[in-house]
């Protein structure tokens, strides 16, 4: 600020001094009546004044240009400065526009961040739900393993009992083979007698009599086998005629209307009562009322069946009852407590659903090991089916022929590699059952053959 005032003061003093000097020179030129460039004295004085003014202006501009760089720049670079200013203004406008766009982008990013946080919260909730579900599945898996262990123990007991029955069966088969050999030997003797003395009718009649006797002996032997099997079942089950949760009667029911439902339920109860009498006191009149079920439970069953949907109805024993239960023999009030189980007959498994898998590692394989492995596979499939709500877990495989199953087991026995046996559904399985299964033999996930490959055509 001070330097500007000094500059102005210097310019004023310099201009005043040069003007005074020019005036003095002009007066002296005028008094002296000098003439320059052949001009008149007055014109010469005017020229001197002009030159003096020009010098004042030039010296002033020179001093200003020499001292103030801003003046030089403003005078000689004003156009460029204006252009730069206009360019800067445009850049400022663009910068303001970019700043507005950046603010809009920032606002959009903030909104997107809020949405991302919301999605993250939902994902966290889903993850927590998945963790809870996994914990529940692990608990169910632990329960299933415990139940499978129980089933394995039961299967072991059943195998031991089966072994005893097999021993008895082998003994009976040996007896039957002996008798068959005797029959063959006697047939041979009779054939020789027919060839040598064919003309004698008496010997022919004797041969027929012997054949009849042998057939009678074979029939007695078969009855003995059936009797032994019945005795074995009696020993295995004890004297309990009805066990707790034992099924007395079951059926698949679909009716329309309350009246039809009432009729069906009454018939169902009569049949269940008859079966209970036959199990506990065979030979007693079947018109005696022995089963005990609440009227309210029966009414609920009737109302439910009247809806028109298809249901699986089961009547089960609520306790253990022995053969010759006193309350039944003595004709007392109904004492066989039962309860109803009603389930909507719906699809449990689709076609080709895998129910159980078992590995066969040993090579070569024995017949007994193959049969036991197949029994364990079927028991596992039945256990899973019962767990998922299938009422009738009776197993039907392929065309339900023993020859088909034996052919399949023979093919498994001849395979010289580790295999897996897999039980899958052969059709859609509903609550009412039964279990139609197809057994697959797999090698590292590839199906080699199945029980369906050994089925016989329907014409055979």
pLDDT by residue for the chain (460 residues), tens only, comes to: 555 566 667 667 777 777 777 677 767 766 666 666 767 777 777 777 787 778 777 777 777 777 767 666 766 776 777 788 888 888 888 888 888 888 888 888 888 888 888 888 888 888 788 788 888 877 877 777 777 777 677 767 767 767 776 777 777 777 777 777 776 776 676 677 666 666 666 655 666 665 665 565 555 555 544 544 444 444 344 477 888 888 888 888 888 888 899 998 898 888 888 888 888 888 777 788 888 888 888 888 889 888 888 898 988 888 888 888 888 887 778 888 888 888 888 998 999 899 999 888 766 777 788 888 888 889 989 999 988 888 887 888 877 888 888 888 888 888 878 889 999 999 999 988 888 999 999 988 899 899 988 887 654 4
Phi, psi (degrees; rounded to nearest 5) at 457: -60, 155
pTM: 0.44
Query: Is position 324 within any domain?
Result: yes
Q: State whether 373 and 413 are in the same domain.
A: yes
Q: State whether 355 and 329 are in the same domain.
A: no
Query: Is position 423 within any domain?
Result: yes
Q: State whether 331 and 356 are in the same domain.
A: no
Q: State whether 247 and 341 are in the same domain.
A: yes
Query: Is position 302 within any domain?
Result: yes
SS3 427: coil
User: Which runs of consecutive H residues, i.e. helices, occur in 238-333?
Assistant: 258-280, 295-305, 326-329
Q: State whether 364 and 422 are in the same domain.
A: yes
Query: Is position 173 within any domain?
Result: no
Q: At what angle do helices 402-414 and 367-387 cross, to 10 degrees?
A: 120
Q: State whether 337 and 274 are in the same domain.
A: yes
Q: State whether 365 and 336 are in the same domain.
A: no
- Helix, strand counts (H, E) of the chain: 10, 13
Q: State whether 253 and 335 are in the same domain.
A: yes
Choose the final residue of a domain: 345, 362, 382.
345
Phi, psi (degrees; rounded to nearest 5) at 364: -75, 170
Query: Is position 116 within any domain?
Result: no
Q: How far from the centroid of its chain's Cα atoms is residue 237's Cα?
A: 40
**Closest by alpha carbon to 346, among 311, 305, 395, 374?**
311
Q: State whether 377 and 394 are in the same domain.
A: yes
Q: State whether 370 and 338 are in the same domain.
A: no
Residues 264/255, Cβ–Cβ less than 8 Å: yes
* Number of separate domains in the chain: 3
- Residue 128 to residue 136: CA distance in whole angstroms: 12
376, burial (CB in 10 Å: exposed 0-12, middle 13-18, buried 19+): middle
What domain range is 335 assigned to?
Answer: 242-345
Choose the final residue of a domain: 49, 76, 103.
76
The whole-number pLDDT of residue 231 equals 40
C-beta atoms surrounding 394 within 10 Å: 11
DSSP type of residue 435: E
Encode 261-300: b = buried (16+ Cβ within 10 Å), e = exposed: bbebbeebbeebbbbbbebbbeeeeeeeebbebeeeebee
């Amino acid at each position: 600020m001070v330097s500007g005032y000094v500059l102005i003061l210097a310019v004023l003093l310099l201009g005043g001094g040069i003007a005074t000097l020019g005036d003095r020179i002009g007066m002296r030129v005028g008094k002296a009546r000098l003439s320059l460039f052949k001009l008149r004295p007055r014109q010469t004085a005017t020229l001197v004044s002009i030159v003096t003014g020009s010098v004042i202006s030039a010296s002033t501009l020179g001093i200003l240009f020499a001292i103030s760089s801003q003046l030089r720049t403003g005078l000689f670079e004003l156009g460029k400065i204006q252009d730069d200013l206009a360019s800067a203004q445009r850049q400022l406008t663009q910068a303001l526009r970019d700043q507005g766009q950046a603010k809009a982008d920032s606002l959009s990013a903030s909104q997107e961040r809020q949405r991302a946080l919301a999605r993250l919260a939902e994902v966290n909730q889903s993850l927590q739900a998945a963790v809870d579900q996994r914990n529940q599945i692990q608990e169910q898996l632990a329960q299933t393993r415990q139940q499978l262990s129980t089933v394995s123990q039961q299967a072991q007991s059943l195998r031991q009992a089966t072994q005893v029955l097999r021993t008895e069966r082998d003994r009976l088969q040996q007896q039957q083979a002996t008798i068959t050999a005797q029959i063959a030997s006697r047939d041979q003797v009779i054939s020789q007698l027919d060839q040598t003395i064919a003309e004698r009718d008496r010997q022919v009649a004797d041969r027929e009599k012997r054949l009849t006797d042998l057939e009678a002996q074979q029939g007695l032997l078969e009855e003995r086998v059936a009797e032994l099997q019945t005795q074995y079942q009696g020993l295995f089950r004890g004297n309990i005629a009805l066990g707790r949760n034992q099924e007395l009667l079951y059926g698949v029911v679909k009716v329309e209307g309350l009246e039809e439902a009432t009729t069906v339920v009454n018939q169902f109860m009569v049949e269940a009562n008859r079966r209970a009498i036959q199990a506990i006191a065979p030979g007693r009149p079947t018109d005696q009322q022995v089963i005990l079920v609440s009227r309210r439970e029966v009414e609920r069953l009737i109302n439910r069946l009247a809806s028109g949907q298809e249901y699986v109805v089961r009547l089960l024993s609520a306790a253990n009852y022995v053969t010759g239960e006193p309350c039944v023999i003595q004709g007392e009030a109904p004492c066989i407590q039962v309860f109803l189980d009603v389930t909507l007959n719906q699809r449990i498994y689709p076609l080709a659903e895998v129910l159980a898998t078992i590995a066969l590692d040993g090579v070569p394989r024995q017949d007994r090991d193959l049969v036991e492995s197949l029994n364990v596979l079927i028991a596992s499939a039945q256990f899973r089916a019962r767990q998922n709500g299938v009422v009738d877990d009776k197993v039907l495989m392929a065309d339900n022929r023993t020859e088909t199953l034996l052919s399949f087991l023979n093919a498994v026995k001849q395979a010289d590699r580790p295999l897996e046996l897999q039980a899958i559904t052969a059709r859609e399985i509903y609550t009412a059952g039964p279990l139609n299964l197809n057994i697959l033999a797999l090698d590292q996930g590839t199906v080699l053959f199945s029980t369906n490959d050994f089925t016989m055509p329907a014409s055979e």
